[in-house]
Structure 1
Amino acid sequence: MSLFAARTSQMRVRGQHESGRVTFVELFFDLVFVFAVTQLSHGLLAHLSLAGLAQMSVLLLAVWWSWINAAWVTNWLDPARPAVRMMLFALMLAGLVFAAAIPKGFEDRAVVLAVAYVSMHVVSDLMMLWSLNRHDAVNFRNFVRISLWHLAAAPIWLAGSYADATLRLELWVLAAAIETVAPILGYWVPWIGRSTTSEWVVAGNHMAERCGLFIIIALGESILITGATFATLTWTAEHIAAFLTAFVGSVALWAVYFNIGAERASRQIETSSDPGRLARSGYTFMHLPIVAGIIVIAVGDELVLHHPGGHIELPALAALVGGPVLYLVGNALFKRLSAPNLPLSHLIGLGLLVLAIPASLYLTPLTLSAATTAIMIVVAVWEWLSLRRREER
């Protein structure tokens, strides 16, 4: 393996003032995932069924793991290095192909989707092994473990792409489960052992900013869908009300995440004695339900824009209530890392959302959307006021 090694270090220089900043090439890379998130929400909207939900869920896992893997890689590697930039451009191309295949990922583009996804892992893993060999023995062993787990999942992704739709879903769920369980197990491999989070030396401010930017991507996608849908409609009073409700809801989502939680968590990971543990649990895992919630909320907003009045159908109810539930659960677990307890405001909000389910029998889609938006506003304002009073004491 000595020949397979970078001559000069490709790593970020730790300790400098701007060593953990997010670079423009990373932001450029993220543009692919704006498209990917849009494809997921459109795919869910086109397949409002349990089967459609299962399919989009497994593809969401693939989107998330491809993005968060790149975020971890650029936490260690320096994007200013030409080789690292070329890796990011290669990942962008594969990610763009993957995202383009999402609508027909369980049809005739399954092979393209699987090959594009697996190739993203291959490129990033080879780049990390090449960069770390002879430069960082501990992280090199870690990425040997990670690469072996990705190698175990890859044939299942590829085999699933050739199977019928039912078996394909089962195989892809298995592959996604392997990739999800792997970091929990420390990427344990026989004879090599497992990684410990103390070995994962990360720049906490970089990880916090990267994940915050992905939340912005998801929120931006929901705003794009709202604006694009509203532009095609007749601007009746109901449609205008639905449009305003969706926009206010997006602002409330932003406030719940960014007003308090994101900043506190960023400070926590920067000063933690084990930032790898927080990066794994808080940012790698707990941001997934937050992103899923935003996507489901965007679907609910579009359903309300098209049909603001009348009886609430089950898919609309599931999106209008389920999306905020996912979002609050993810935020509550995330904020628990920097607080002694789960935030009371979020628990109350979850309780109110549960009560909205039976109340929906007497509501239209628009009034239920307004109710869930009001709940999110209450959560954001409650949290802000309670923490502000606590800081003033």
Structure 2
Amino acid sequence: MNEVSPAIPVSGEERHASWLELFFDLVAVAGVAQIAHLLHGEPGAGDLGLYVLLFLAFWTAWICFTLYGNVAGERTHTRTVLAAMFGMAVMAAAVPGVHAGEDGQARALALAYVVVRSLASGTWRHRREILVDWPAAQMSLGVIPWIVSLWAEEPARYWLWALGIALDLYVTFTVSARDIIESRRAHDRREETRSRRREAVLPVSVAAPDADHLSERLGLFVIIVLGEGVAQVIEAASEAPWNRRLYGLAAAAFFLLVALWSLSFRHGYAGVPYLTARSLPARAALPLHCFVSGCLAALAAGLGAAAEHLETLPDSTRWLLCASLAGYFLLTGVAAPRQLVGARRRLLLSVVLPCAAVPLLIAGFGAGLGTVAVVWLLVAVTLWPTFYESRRTGHREPDARPGT
């Protein structure tokens, strides 16, 4: 019977993202930009659903290899990561075609996703390690519907993709470490019987991620998303007439993104507001990071669309902007510290709920407001947590540091 031994982290100097990892994150820039463009113009429910589906798929592929590089460290196989980069680049390039209903691009995206996920699960089998914090990275249950979708037509393929993402979430939240270990042992016994080997199989170890390094990688992803907000406004502004409305919107968008940066890093951890190191298990913290990033990317798309409608916002764009910010703040309630019940209740009542409710009120009753006024109101909402905290504590916050 195989022995399971915990992986012992090697002491040494603090790790930072390698050049290979930073190169890999550049694919995230392309992917987030392509997916955010799904919400340009006046997005409908179908556009929003496709955005959510593709963002979850892209983030899942990215986190699988982020965790692999985190655990493997200097033993990361460069060719495997580069192959995954190519697959994710294909996924990003296929997004516009998927949005346009092109079967060829949709099948290319699904095939690239299957290849990337297969590469990820293969790395863990070869390393003889079990990643209990994110079992979906090494289990292929969620990939099966994507394989079936290669022969499906629209809209059935989209439902299959959604099923695959749902299965990954199911595995993440329900499969225990014991289940994974027993599954690996059963697989090894079958292999021994099939090959009639008598020699002992190498022991399986439990992978222990480097929390500080992972926090830095997660924070870099959020920085990429916020940077996409800047890029969206710049792209739209370069094609719009430069007048007082554009100046006002550009300033408001800049202050909004800066305020979100401050909340995510000066008042948060790994890019998630009010999250602290090790306050949540990785199985909860990683999906939280995904959903927060998704809200920020949708907000970035909304800012780009706002620059195209400088007088008044279409209802769908106003709802996109406001609902994205409301979702961002609602998710901070999940990350709020649980050690002090009174402090958490105060944070929820004084910060989270007002900052989530006011954008929804603007979305529902702000049809008569100008575009610039709407964005400045969102700036005021986003600045409220910092103002509240400074009034309550009476001291200035420390400067932001990457990965904290």
**Pairwise TM-score range, normalised by the shorter structure:** 0.7 to 0.9
Deviations 1:281-302 (A, max 9, x none): 12x1111221111111112212
1:58 and 1:234 map into 2 onto residues whose CA distance is 35
Structure 1 runs (4+) deviating above 4 angstroms are: 142-148, 187-191, 263-267, 337-340, 387-391
TM-score (norm 1): 0.83
2:389 and 2:30 map into 1 onto residues whose CA distance is 32
Aligned with 2:255 (options 237, 248, 252): 248
Aligned with 1:350 (options 352, 356, 359): 356
**Other-structure match for 1:156:** 145
Change (3 A) 1:296 1:146: closer
Aligned with 1:125 (options 117, 121, 127): 121
2:375 and 2:274 map into 1 onto residues whose CA distance is 30
**How many percent identity over aligned positions?**
22
**Other-structure match for 1:51:** 46
**Other-structure match for 1:302:** 304
- The AA in structure 1 aligned to 2:317 is A
Aligned partner of residue 330 in structure 2, secondary structure: helix
Change (3 A) 1:49 1:161: farther
Aligned with 2:162 (options 169, 173, 188): 173
Is 1:333 the counterpart of 2:339? The answer is: no
Instruction: Give, in angstroms, the shift of residue 115 of structure 1.
Output: 0.9
- The AA in structure 2 aligned to 1:304 is A
**Other-structure match for 1:7:** none
Change (3 A) 1:355 1:47: closer
- The AA in structure 1 aligned to 2:282 is A
**Other-structure match for 1:364:** 370
CA contact (8 A) 1:149 1:187 kept: no
Aligned with 2:109 (options 107, 113, 117): 113
**Other-structure match for 1:268:** 277
TM-score (norm 2): 0.81
How do 1:10-29 residues align onto structure 2 when only pairs under 5 Å count? 14-18=10-14, 20-29=15-24
- The AA in structure 2 aligned to 1:329 is L
Deviations 1:371-392 (A, max 9, x none): 112111122332354355599x
Q: How big is the alpha-carbon RMSD for the aligned residues of Structure 1 and Structure 2?
A: 3.2
CA contact (8 A) 1:219 1:250 kept: yes
**Other-structure match for 1:192:** 182
CA contact (8 A) 1:153 1:179 kept: yes
**Other-structure match for 1:8:** none
Instruction: Give, in angstroms, the shift of residue 128 of structure 1.
Output: 1.8
CA contact (8 A) 2:70 2:213 kept: yes
Is 1:219 the counterpart of 2:226? The answer is: yes
Say which structure, 1 or 2, has more relative contact order (CA 8 Å, 6+ apart). Answer: 2
Instruction: Give, in angstroms, the shift of residue 219 of structure 1.
Output: 0.4
CA contact (8 A) 2:230 2:254 kept: yes
2:60 and 2:373 map into 1 onto residues whose CA distance is 36
Instruction: Give, in angstroms, the shift of residue 28 of structure 1.
Output: 1.1
Instruction: Give, in angstroms, the shift of residue 22 of structure 1.
Output: 2.1
Q: Which has the higher helix share?
A: 1
1:384 and 1:324 map into 2 onto residues whose CA distance is 21
- The AA in structure 2 aligned to 1:206 is H
1:207 and 1:233 map into 2 onto residues whose CA distance is 40
- The AA in structure 2 aligned to 1:167 is A
- The AA in structure 2 aligned to 1:179 is D
Change (3 A) 1:118 1:236: same
Is 1:67 the counterpart of 2:56? The answer is: no
1:267 and 1:55 map into 2 onto residues whose CA distance is 32
Aligned partner of residue 351 in structure 1, secondary structure: helix
Is 1:182 the counterpart of 2:175? The answer is: no
- The AA in structure 2 aligned to 1:97 is V
**Other-structure match for 1:279:** 282
Q: What runs of 5+ residues in structure 1 fail to find an aligned partner?
A: 3-10
Aligned partner of residue 216 in structure 2, secondary structure: helix
1:51 and 1:75 map into 2 onto residues whose CA distance is 36
2:102 and 2:306 map into 1 onto residues whose CA distance is 28
1:247 and 1:12 map into 2 onto residues whose CA distance is 44
CA contact (8 A) 1:75 1:202 kept: yes
Instruction: Give, in angstroms, the shift of residue 243 of structure 1.
Output: 1.4
1:144 and 1:290 map into 2 onto residues whose CA distance is 18
- The AA in structure 2 aligned to 1:319 is L
Instruction: Give, in angstroms, the shift of residue 209 of structure 1.
Output: 1.1
2:370 and 2:224 map into 1 onto residues whose CA distance is 30
1:59 and 1:37 map into 2 onto residues whose CA distance is 10
Instruction: Give, in angstroms, the shift of residue 237 of structure 1.
Output: 0.8
1:351 and 1:183 map into 2 onto residues whose CA distance is 30
Is 1:315 the counterpart of 2:305? The answer is: no
- The AA in structure 2 aligned to 1:107 is E
- Structure 1 window deviating more from structure 2 (114-123 vs 163-172): it is 163-172
Q: What runs of 5+ residues in structure 2 fail to find an aligned partner?
A: 185-205, 398-404
- The AA in structure 1 aligned to 2:71 is W
Instruction: Give, in angstroms, the shift of residue 233 of structure 1.
Output: 1.5
Deviations 1:127-166 (A, max 9, x none): 12112x2xx5xx27x599647742x222311222432222
**Other-structure match for 1:36:** 31
1:304 and 1:69 map into 2 onto residues whose CA distance is 34
2:159 and 2:329 map into 1 onto residues whose CA distance is 29
Deviations 1:174-204 (A, max 9, x none): 111011221101268599269xxxx662211
CA contact (8 A) 1:110 1:162 kept: no
Change (3 A) 1:339 1:217: farther
**Other-structure match for 1:101:** 94
